[in-house]
């Protein structure tokens, strides 16, 4: 008597999974379809096995029916193995590699085809299984072929799983891998104890594992627009480059996306994006660009990825998309035009690595800003800054290892004292390959990789060494401004580190003014607040850098102990724009009302100098007096110009 309970449970588990897959509508899309077929295959093999075992237990007759049921069971059992390997090929995005190798492409379904033919032939010659005169099931001499076919599929799945391990997250990889020992173990168990019919149950549990750990497309979906989300864009592009899948990408930046969010409800903005995404999907289907994926990036960008074999359809598709976007889109009685800039990229021809792609997308989001414009990928790629950003980690590491950083000083002029009273320390980097690399490029990268702490310490040490030198005392410079980045301010050891450096050089805290940008200062961050408090108590002064460029929470800024405010250089563009002039004047009034001394940055001409002097600003910094210069030139400059009026 064979135990049928496990089989029934396995069937029930599959039925629940089928139901939930249909309700969650996750049986769509390439991967969804393959998963669903694999699930159906397990379900049918379990169902056929339930009937087969029941018949075996109940009667020794009904042989034709038994033939049919057992054939069905064996077919679906083999199909499950095949679907498992196809699922792995799809999830590792290596389908294009299988297709590329003609031998693999044609022979892939061979084992399953042989099994299907043998199952038919079996009805006549019993080569796979038969029933003896007592109606008892007996294996035929070619039964081994069934094992060979299943083994072929399982091992090819495992092969791709190992080969493209990097394309999937570890938990998913383990879930897919576990299927193998589980099914081998259950098959062995069933071989040793033929009455213990457990294989289908184990298969059902395995697919439940896959369902809960892997088949969660909601994770990759932007629920508001119905497109795939940023997480999906990252993981899909990463996988694409690992397996070398050739694709066409179209990036559409909605230039006025932020404006829309400012002026209409976020529901309406989402509805507009949803309409665009639906159009893009429908159009890709109508021009037969199969398995095109659409992604929505929260910074207002839509990305379309299509397989390279449809390349010749891209131009027509793009025309239709641009035409559609030129017309207003209507939602809940709001009619809006989207200003877009569009860029099309071929991978791997234009971009051949995930890092470049990531950088490219970010650059495009920042750069692509002329409405109705079509960018060439090469516009961005051939840009020098792009290439620097791509290699910035190497550049920073090289600079640290080879001591390449230098500190320059830019003198700051006091209007009342009519002389230079302080200076700002600005870091400089000359790289052998890229020559001058702007701090605006490497500081953000150094913040990301953590080297900013090392760089910050280096700048402060250099400044302290300079201040403690004999020569410095002869210059009449009261203090040096040192820039602190947001990331440095969030380091709980910052206060101790700064004090330790000053103590080492015997420099008093009044000789240093710490500059924090307005954007950094407006972050609500406990450690930053604690650092500012501790450093102020220890005698340091703070200055608010780039005033007027952040969209700050003014009440927070007013609470912080800034002695000096540095009016950003955008305000020096006087006379160009009357409104900007008004903003400049009120910014100056505001800083005065907050009891701050005012430094104006970026003063390049005599007119600018006069204007800000008339406005009552206290200090002037800019090319009009001097660019940032190396220490020895700075000393020379101050000694020669200290009596400038």
Contact flag: residue 449 with ligand C2E (CB under 6 A): no
Give the containing element (helix H, strand E) for 248. strand 247-254
Name residues contacting ligand C2E, limited to 357-416 (CB under 6 A): 410
Does 604 engage in binding with ligand C2E (CB under 6 A)?
Answer: yes
Using the rule CB under 6 A, is 443 a contact of ligand C2E? yes
Residue 133's contacts (CB-CB under 8 Å, 6 or more residues apart) are: none
Residues 284, 289, 293, 297, CA torsion sign: negative
- Between 222 and 601, CB nearer to Mg ion: 601
Total interface residues for Mg ion by CB under 5 A: 5
Looking at beta carbons only, is 588 or 600 nearer to ligand C2E? 600
Q: Choose the one of ligand C2E, Mg ion, none that binds residue 10, judging by a C-beta under 5 to 8 angstroms depending on kind.
A: none
DSSP state letters, 306-354: EEGGGHHHHHHHHHHHHHHHHS-EEETTEEEPPPEEEEEEEETTT--SH
User: Tokens 């970010």 sit at which residue?
Assistant: 362
Q: Report the distance separating Cα 229 and Cα 242, nearest Å.
A: 20
Output 248 or 546, the one with its CB closest to ligand C2E.
546
Q: DSSP string spanning 282-305?
A: HHHHHTT-TT-EEEEETTTEEEEE
For the bound state, the minimum distance from the C-beta of residue 170 to ligand C2E, rounded and expressed in Å, comes to 36
| Binding of ligand C2E by 94 (CB under 6 A) | no
Which listed range, 24-32, 94-102, 383-391, 602-610, lies at the site for ligand C2E (CB under 6 A)?
Answer: 602-610
Please pick, from the candidates 93, 248, 545, 631, the single residue that binds Mg ion as defined by CB under 5 A. 545
- Applying CB under 6 A, among 177, 439, 519, 534 the residue interacting with ligand C2E is 439
Cβ 426 to ligand C2E shortest distance, Å = 4
Work out which of 45, 167, 225, 483 binds ligand C2E, going by CB under 6 A. 483
CB-neighbour burial class of residue 493 (10 A; exposed 0-12, middle 13-18, buried 19+): exposed
Cβ atoms within 10 A of the Cβ of 155, count? Answer: 13
Query: Residue 483 interacts with Mg ion (CB under 5 A)?
Result: yes
Least gap, CB of 175 to ligand C2E (angstroms): 44
**435 SS3 class:** strand
Binding residue for ligand C2E (CB under 6 A) from 49, 222, 293, 601?
Answer: 601
C-alpha pair distances (Å), 398 with each of 185, 355, 376, 407: 53, 19, 32, 17
- Alpha-carbon distance of 376 to 355, in angstroms, equals 19
Q: Which does 29 bind (CB under 5 to 8 A by kind): Mg ion, ligand C2E, none?
A: none
545 lies in the site for ligand C2E, by CB under 6 A: yes
Q: Which of 462, 515, 518, 631 binds Mg ion (CB under 5 A)?
A: 515
Q: Which is nearer to ligand C2E, 139 or 627 (CB)?
A: 627
Q: Among ligand C2E, Mg ion, none, what binds residue 459 when CB lies within 5 to 8 Å by partner kind? A: ligand C2E
Q: Which does 617 bind (CB under 5 to 8 A by kind): Mg ion, ligand C2E, none?
A: none
- Asked if 576 is part of the footprint of ligand C2E (rule: CB under 6 A), the reply reads no
DSSP for 583-604 reads HHHHHHHHHHHTT-EEEE----
The DSSP symbol for 126 reads: -
Determine phi and psi for 156, rounding to 5 degrees. Answer: -70, -35
In the complex, the smallest distance separating the C-beta of residue 485 from ligand C2E, rounded to whole angstroms, is 4
Identity of the residue, 236 or 545, whose beta carbon is nearer to Mg ion in the bound complex: 545
Kindly state the number of chain residues that form the binding site for ligand C2E, as judged by CB under 6 A. Answer: 23
Q: What is the number of alpha carbons within 13 Å of residue 415 lying toward its C-beta?
A: 18
Interface with ligand C2E (CB under 6 A), residue from 81, 368, 509, 628: 628
Q: Which is nearer to ligand C2E, 341 or 552 (CB)?
A: 552
Long-range pairs for 496-502 at CB < 8 Å and ≥24 separation? 497/457, 498/460, 498/535, 498/540, 499/538, 501/457, 501/460, 501/461, 501/464, 502/464
Cα–Cα distance measured from residue 617 to residue 612, given in angstroms and rounded to the nearest whole number? 6
Instruction: Please state the closest distance from residue 515 (CB atom) to ligand C2E, in A.
Output: 6
Burial class (CB in 10 A: 0-12, 13-18, 19+), 293: buried
Distance of closest approach, residue 627 Cβ to ligand C2E, in angstroms = 7
Task: Give whichever of 303 and 489 is closer to ligand C2E, judged by the CB atom.
Answer: 489
Shortest distance, position 389 Cβ to Mg ion, whole Å: 21
User: Which of residues 133, 432, 440, 640 is near ligand C2E by CB under 6 A?
Assistant: 440
* Contacts of Mg ion in 422-451 (CB under 5 A): none
Specify the stretch interacting with ligand C2E by CB under 6 A; choose among 214-222, 243-251, 432-440, 495-503: 432-440
Task: For residues 469 and 466, give the distance between their C-alpha atoms in angstroms, rounded to a whole number.
Answer: 5
443, interface contact from Mg ion, ligand C2E, none, CB < 5-8 Å by kind: ligand C2E
Shortest Cβ distance from residue 501 to Mg ion (Å)? 19
531 binds, among Mg ion, ligand C2E, none (CB under 5 to 8 A by kind): none
- In 402-451, which ranges are continuous DSSP H helix? 439-449
In the bound state with ligand C2E, the residue whose beta carbon lies nearer, of 229 and 511, is 511
Collapse the DSSP code of 251 into the 3-class scheme (helix H, G, I; strand E, B; otherwise coil) and give the result: strand
Query: Which of the ranges 47-55, 361-369, 512-520, 587-595 carries the binding residues for Mg ion, by CB under 5 A?
Result: 512-520
Choose, by CB under 6 A, the member of 57, 113, 370, 438 that binds ligand C2E: 438
- What is the token pair recorded at 573? 């563009």
Is 462 near ligand C2E (CB under 6 A)? no
Cβ atoms within 10 Å of 287's Cβ, excluding its own: 15
Cis amide leading into 65 (omega within 30):
no
**Does 569 sit near ligand C2E (CB under 6 A)?**
yes
CB of 607 to ligand C2E, least distance (A): 13
Q: Tokens 């007119």 identify what position?
A: 607
Q: CA-based angle 343:349:352, to the nearest 5?
A: 95
Question: What residue ranges bind ligand C2E (CB under 6 A)?
Answer: 410, 426-427, 438-440, 443, 459, 483-485, 515, 545-546, 569, 601-604, 621-623, 628
Question: What residue ranges bind Mg ion (CB under 5 A)?
Answer: 483, 515, 545-546, 601
């Amino acid at each position: 008597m064979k135990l049928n309970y496990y089989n029934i449970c396995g069937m029930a588990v599959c039925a629940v999974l089928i139901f939930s897959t249909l309700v969650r509508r996750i049986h769509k899309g390439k991967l969804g379809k393959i998963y669903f077929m694999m699930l159906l295959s397990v379900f049918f093999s379990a169902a056929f096995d339930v009937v087969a075992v029941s018949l075996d237990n109940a009667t020794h007759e009904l042989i034709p029916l038994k033939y049919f049921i057992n054939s069905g069971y064996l077919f679906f059992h083999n199909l499950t193995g095949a679907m498992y390997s196809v699922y792995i090929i799809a999830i590792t995005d290596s389908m294009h590699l299988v297709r590329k190798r003609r031998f693999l492409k044609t022979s892939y379904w061979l084992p399953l085809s042989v099994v299907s033919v043998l199952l038919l032939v079996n009805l006549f010659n019993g080569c796979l299984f038969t029933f003896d005169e007592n109606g008892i099931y007996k294996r035929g001499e070619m039964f081994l072929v069934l094992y060979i076919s299943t083994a072929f599929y399982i091992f090819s799945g495992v092969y791709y799983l190992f080969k493209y391990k990097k394309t999937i997250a570890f938990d998913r990889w383990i879930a897919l891998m576990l299927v193998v020992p589980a099914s081998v173990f259950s098959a062995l168990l069933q071989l040793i104890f033929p009455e213990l019919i457990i294989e289908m149950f184990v298969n059902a549990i395995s697919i439940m594992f896959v369902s809960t750990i892997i088949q969660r497309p909601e994770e990759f979906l932007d629920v508001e627009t119905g497109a795939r989300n940023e997480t999906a864009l990252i993981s899909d592009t990463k996988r694409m480059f690992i397996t070398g899948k050739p694709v066409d990408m179209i990036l559409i930046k909605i230039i006025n996306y932020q404006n829309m969010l400012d002026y209409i409800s976020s529901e309406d903005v989402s509805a507009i994006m949803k309409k665009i995404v639906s159009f893009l999907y429908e159009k890709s289907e109508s021009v037969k660009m199969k398995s095109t994926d659409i992604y929505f990036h929260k910074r207002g960008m839509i990305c379309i990825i299509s397989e390279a074999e449809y390349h010749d359809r891209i131009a027509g598709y793009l025309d239709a998309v641009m035409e559609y976007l030129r017309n207003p889109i209507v939602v809940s009685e709001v009619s809006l035009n989207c200003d877009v800039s569009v860029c099309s990229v071929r991978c791997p021809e234009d971009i051949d690595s995930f890092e470049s792609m990531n950088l490219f997308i970010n650059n495009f989001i920042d750069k692509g800003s002329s409405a109705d414009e079509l960018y060439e990928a090469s516009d961005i790629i051939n840009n020098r800054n792009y290439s620097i950003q791509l290699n910035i980690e190497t550049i920073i590491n090289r600079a640290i290892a080879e001591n390449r950083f230098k500190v320059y000083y830019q003198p700051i002029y006091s209007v009342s004292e009519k002389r230079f009273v302080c200076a700002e320390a600005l870091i400089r980097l000359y790289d052998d390959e890229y020559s001058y690399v702007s701090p605006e490029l490497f500081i953000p990268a150094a913040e990301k990789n953590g080297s900013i702490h090392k760089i910050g310490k280096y700048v402060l040490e250099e400044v302290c060494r300079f201040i403690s030198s004999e020569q410095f005392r002869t210059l009449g410079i009261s203090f040096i401004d040192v820039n602190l980045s947001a990331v440095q301010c969030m380091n709980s050891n910052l206060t101790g580190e700064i004090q330790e450096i000053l103590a080492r050089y015997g420099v008093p805290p009044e000789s240093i003014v710490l500059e924090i940008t307005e954007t950094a200062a407006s972050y609500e961050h406990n450690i930053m607040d604690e650092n500012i408090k501790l450093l102020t108590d220890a005698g340091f002064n703070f200055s608010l850098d780039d005033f007027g460029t952040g969209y700050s929470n003014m009440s927070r800024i007013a609470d912080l102990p800034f002695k000096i405010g540095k009016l950003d250089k955008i305000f020096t563009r006087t006379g160009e724009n009357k409104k900007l002039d008004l903003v400049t004047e009120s910014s100056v009034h505001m800083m005065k009302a907050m009891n701050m001394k005012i430094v104006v940055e970026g003063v390049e001409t005599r007119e600018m100098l006069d204007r800000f002097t008339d406005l009552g600003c206290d200090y002037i910094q800019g090319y009009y007096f001097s660019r940032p210069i190396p220490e020895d030139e700075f000393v020379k400059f101050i000694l020669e110009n200290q009596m400038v009026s």
